[in-house]
């Protein structure tokens, strides 16, 4: 019997997930050393052992809080500077070298510099901010520049209040760009943030826990933490995009 049309994607998604979990299982059996390559079952066991522990949730809350803070600050700063650069070409020219620098400097260099200058406590905040900021800035600039210039002419002739022009002409032009940038920047903020934490090992962080897993060769635990990061990153992305969908 064929499944109904509406359940087909779910059905197929489950099969795909099962397939890759099977590949993972096969690979772990092929390697044959749980210390090097944990199986799906080992990982699940490790995760179930972690979840009831208080320090698991402290690490989750710590990393989530810092990365979300960095992302939020980058969103705010990126929007503000993007708007400023759209309005003033001097501002755009002035910011250009800084943005090029931020885009090209390796994340590892940032991590080490921030560690030297500010220590490890707020490391993930600053690293997430540095990684996300250029993307928000450039998408804001492109989004605002994609506005319909004839609608702006019309607004000028009819003397439409600036606030209304911003909401009705600029916002719809900006949002698709901003959503696209956020979708990719969200994943990057997690990758860079966690990498920073592994290097800086601040207290109560996923990165610190991962580092400890490495020290104790607890591969299953490392996999469990990785799974945690994937889930957090997905949830965070869904939440942010949902919020943005409410704006337009």
Partner 1 sequence: MDIQIVGLSHRFGDKVIFQDFSLCLREGGLYGLTAPSGRGKTTLLRILLGLQKPDSAEISGGLRYSAVFQRDCLLPGQTPVEQLLYVRGGKRNRRECREFLAELLPGDSLEQPVEELSGGMQRRTAIARALWAESDCVLMDEPFIGLDPETLRHTMDFILAHRRSRTLLLSTHQKELLQDYGLEWITI
To the nearest 5 percent, what fractions of the chain are helix, strand and coil?
Answer: 85, 0, 15
CB of 136 to partner 1, least distance (A): 24
- 228 in Cβ contact with 60 (< 8 Å): yes
| Distance in angstroms (rounded) separating the CA atoms of residues 2 and 214 | 47
Comparing CA positions, the residue from 198, 228, 224, 227 lying closest to residue 64 is 228
Looking at the Cβ atoms of 158 and 242, the one nearer to partner 1 is: 158
| Distance in angstroms (rounded) separating the CA atoms of residues 195 and 177 | 27
CB of 26 to partner 1, least distance (A): 50
| Distance in angstroms (rounded) separating the CA atoms of residues 184 and 219 | 28
Q: How far is CA 141 from CA 31, 54, 83, 162, 176, in A?
A: 49, 43, 7, 18, 12
Looking at the Cβ atoms of 55 and 148, the one nearer to partner 1 is: 148
Query: In the set 103, 156, 214, 238, which binds partner 1 (CB under 8 A)?
Result: 156
CB of 2 to partner 1, least distance (A): 35
CB of 150 to partner 1, least distance (A): 5
Looking at the Cβ atoms of 157 and 162, the one nearer to partner 1 is: 157
Query: In the set 34, 55, 119, 153, which binds partner 1 (CB under 8 A)?
Result: 153
Q: How wide is the angle at C-alpha 120 spanned by C-alphas 118 and 124, nearest 5°?
A: 100
CB of 146 to partner 1, least distance (A): 12
Binding mask 162-201 for partner 1 (x = CB under 8 A): --x---xx--x-----------------------------
Interface residues with partner 1 (CB under 8 A) are 148, 150-151, 153-154, 156-160, 164, 168-169, 172
């Amino acid at each position: 019997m064929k499944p109904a049309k509406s359940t087909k994607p779910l059905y197929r998604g489950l099969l795909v997930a099962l397939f890759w979990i099977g590949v993972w299982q096969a690979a772990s059996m092929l390697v044959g050393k749980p210390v090097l390559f944990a199986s799906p079952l080992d990982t699940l066991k490790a995760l179930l052992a972690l979840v009831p522990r208080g320090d698991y949730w402290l690490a989750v809350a710590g990393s989530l809080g810092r990365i979300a803070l960095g992302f939020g600050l980058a969103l705010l700063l990126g929007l503000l500077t993007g708007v400023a650069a759209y309005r003033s070409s001097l501002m755009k020219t002035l910011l250009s070298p800084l943005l090029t620098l931020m885009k090209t400097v390796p994340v590892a260099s940032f991590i080490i510099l921030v560690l030297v200058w500010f220590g490890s406590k707020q490391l993930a905040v600053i690293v997430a901010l540095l990684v996300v900021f250029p993307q928000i800035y450039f998408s804001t600039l492109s989004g605002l520049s994609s506005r319909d210039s004839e609608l702006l002419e019309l607004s000028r002739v009819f003397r439409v209040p600036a606030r209304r022009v911003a909401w009705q002409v600029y916002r719809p032009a900006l949002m698709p760009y901003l959503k696209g940038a956020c979708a990719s920047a969200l994943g990057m903020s997690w990758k860079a943030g966690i990498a920073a934490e592994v290097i800086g090992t601040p207290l109560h962080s996923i990165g610190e826990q991962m580092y400890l897993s490495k020290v104790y060769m607890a591969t299953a635990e490392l996999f469990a933490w990785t799974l945690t990061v994937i889930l957090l990153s997905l949830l965070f992305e869904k939440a942010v995009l949902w919020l943005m969908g409410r704006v337009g």
